[in-house]
């Protein structure tokens, strides 16, 4: 399929993970496809009914409406039955395949996947359209004590089973490689249990020391200026976190704030987070990217340009496959204008003095993934009593025991209710509500929150 043919194809993505949604959309657009995206199955179904796409790619595990339910709704509609449908999932149980047949899916791809492999599936599926006249015979299937009725046509069954077989072959090859690596590792393992225990103790001691160093680089508990109060909360889920935040006084008139979330945890993520902090320091001389000296005066670099420079300096290929999201903003302490840019990060929330909360939409791709990236900058005029909240995705993407995400809207609601509390109390309330939502004693992801309030 050439570029001209791909430009005539519209792909609808249904994926609740913001990062995976943006990553897949970018890859498909680079390949020449037109792309629309929805954050859950219900929104995707509404979009399909308004303007039918050429093909649908849907995650399975989503809030409000799962991928199975979305597929069933599409295939049960006579006007949409021929719409090709690909399911994406981290699951690999045989029942998942039967459920795919049960709801009428045409193809099945297991995460993680190679984008080129998925694009190949799209083209292959479009090359073998579903015969609308094909007669189907309901087939009863019992698996693990549960009974399913499969109404898919022969072509759909063949497409789905063929894709499942390809996935199985690929996963089997990965397993063989892993077993070979394990055998080599076992053969080369010569240390005794005593020496391993000593090494583990030393590593634990080193990690604890590194964690103390990392936390020592965080700002003071509260930062006060004549015009603003800033406070923050930082809770790593492991010894070393991929999250990092700071408040920087660029000059007498400008205050910089940022929050970084490096993918993963551990030493590598922590080191990259600290490196980013070094680059964002206004006191690091020529290596600083937030300000520059010109004609004896300090010149403030626009937030959008700061993010673009970080993307240029820290490509994924040179950082061990690591990439990161962030939000960076500059507050003018005289005019109270706040300019910010974000890269694949949750939106900044503005809570006005009257208590109403709203997200500040500002598009931007994660840093390090692509040489050329799309990034926007937004300016917001603040007033006395106004608040801004920035947080890592550990807040809106916190999961309850049933796998439901906390969500952006619920975060907005909590911050709006907390507008009557002090700035510190509002953050503590949000943290406590997320903890109760998760129903666990330990955090599954790093959680960082940074908030500022304009003084009266």
Structure tokens at 211: 């964690």
Residue range(s) of every CATH 3.40.50.2300 domain in the chain: 3-176
The Cα 241–Cα 272 span in angstroms is 10
> CB neighbours of 26 closer than 8 A, spacing ≥ 6?
365, 370
Helices (DSSP H) in 255-404: which residue ranges?
Answer: 267-279, 303-313
The CATH number that domain 3-176 falls under is 3.40.50.2300
Lowest mean pLDDT among 277-281, 370-374, 411-415: 277-281
- The Cα 110–Cα 97 span in angstroms is 11
How far is it, in rounded angstroms, from Cα 177 to Cα 173? 6
Residue with tokens 């053969």: 187
Q: pLDDT value at position 298?
A: 78
pLDDT in tens, 78-133: 899 889 999 987 655 666 767 777 788 888 888 778 888 889 889 988 887 665 54
Q: Which two tokens stand for residue 193?
A: 């249990």
Q: What pLDDT digit, counting tens, does each position of 286-322 carry?
A: 667 888 877 777 789 999 999 999 999 988 777 778 8
What is the model's pLDDT at position 133? 45
- At the second CATH level, the architecture of 207-454 is 4-Layer Sandwich (3.60)
pLDDT in tens, 335-358: 999 999 999 999 999 999 999 999
Q: Pinpoint the residues of the chain covered by CATH 3.60.40.10.
A: 207-454
Residues 6+ apart with CB under 8 A from 441: none
User: CA 422 → CA 218, 259, 349, 428, 453, distances in Å?
Assistant: 22, 21, 16, 10, 10
Three-class secondary structure of residue 188 per DSSP: helix
Neighbours of 257 (CB within 10 A): 26
Residue pLDDT, tens place only, 171-226: 566 677 777 777 776 666 655 565 556 655 655 554 455 555 555 566 766 677 88
In this prediction, residue 430 has a pLDDT band, given cuts at 50, 70 and 90, of: very high
Q: Give this prediction's pTM.
A: 0.57
Most confidently predicted of 151-165, 220-234, 309-323, 324-338: 324-338
Count Cβ atoms within 10 A of the Cβ of residue 352 and give its class: 0-12 exposed, 13-18 middle, 19 or more buried. Answer: middle
- Looking at the chain, the whole-number percentage of residues with pLDDT higher than 90 is 43
CA atoms within 13 A on the CB side of 108: 32
Cα 8 from Cα 10, distance rounded (Å): 7
Give the 3-state secondary structure of residue 245: strand
């Amino acid at each position: 399929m050439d570029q001209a043919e791909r430009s005539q194809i519209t792909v609808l993505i249904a994926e609740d993970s913001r990062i995976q949604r943006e990553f897949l959309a970018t890859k498909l657009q680079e390949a020449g496809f037109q792309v629309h995206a929805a954050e859950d199955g219900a929104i995707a179904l509404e979009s399909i009914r308004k303007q039918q796409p050429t093909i649908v790619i849907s995650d399975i595990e989503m809030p409000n409406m799962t991928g199975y339910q979305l597929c069933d709704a599409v295939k049960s509609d006579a006007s949409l039955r021929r719409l090709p449908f690909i399911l994406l999932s981290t699951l690999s149980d045989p029942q998942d395949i039967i459920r795919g047949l049960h709801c009428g899916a045409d193809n099945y791809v297991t995460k993680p996947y190679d984008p080129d492999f998925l694009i190949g599936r799209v083209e292959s599926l479009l090359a073998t359209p579903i015969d609308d006249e094909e007669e189907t015979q309901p087939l009863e299937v019992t698996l693990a004590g549960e009974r399913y009725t499969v109404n898919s046509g022969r072509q759909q069954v063949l497409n789905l089973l063929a894709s499942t077989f390809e996935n199985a072959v690929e996963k089997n090859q990965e397993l063989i490689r892993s077993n070979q690596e394990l055998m080599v590792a076992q053969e080369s393992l010569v240390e005794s249990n005593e020496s391993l225990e000593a090494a583990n103790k030393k590593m634990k001691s080193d990690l604890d020391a590194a964690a103390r160093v990392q936390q020592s680089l965080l700002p003071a508990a509260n930062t006060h200026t004549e015009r603003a109060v800033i406070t923050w909360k930082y809770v790593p889920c492991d010894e070393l976190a991929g999250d990092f935040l700071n408040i920087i006084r660029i000059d007498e008139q400008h205050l910089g704030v940022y929050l970084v979330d490096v993918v993963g945890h551990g030493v590598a993520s922590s080191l990259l987070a600290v490196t980013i902090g070094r680059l964002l320091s206004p006191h690091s001389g020529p290596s600083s990217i937030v300000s520059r000296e010109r004609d004896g005066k300090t010149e403030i670099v626009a937030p959008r340009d700061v993010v673009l420079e970080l993307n240029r300096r820290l490509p994924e290929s040179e950082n061990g496959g690591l990439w990161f999201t962030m939000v960076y903003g500059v507050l003018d302490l005289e005019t109270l204008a706040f300019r910010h840019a974000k890269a694949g990060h949750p939106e900044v929330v503005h809570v006005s003095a009257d208590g109403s909360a709203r997200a500040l939409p500002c598009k931007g791709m994660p840093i390090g993934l692509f040489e050329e990236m799309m990034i926007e900058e937004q300016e917001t005029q603040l007033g006395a009593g106004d608040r801004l909240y920035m947080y890592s995705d550990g807040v809106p993407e916190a999961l309850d025991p049933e796998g439901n995400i906390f969500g952006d809207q619920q975060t907005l609601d909590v911050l709006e209710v907390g507008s009557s509390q002090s700035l510190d109390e509002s953050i503590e309330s949000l943290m406590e509500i997320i903890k109760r939502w998760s129903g666990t004693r330990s955090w599954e992801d790093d959680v960082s929150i940074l908030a500022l309030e304009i003084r009266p």
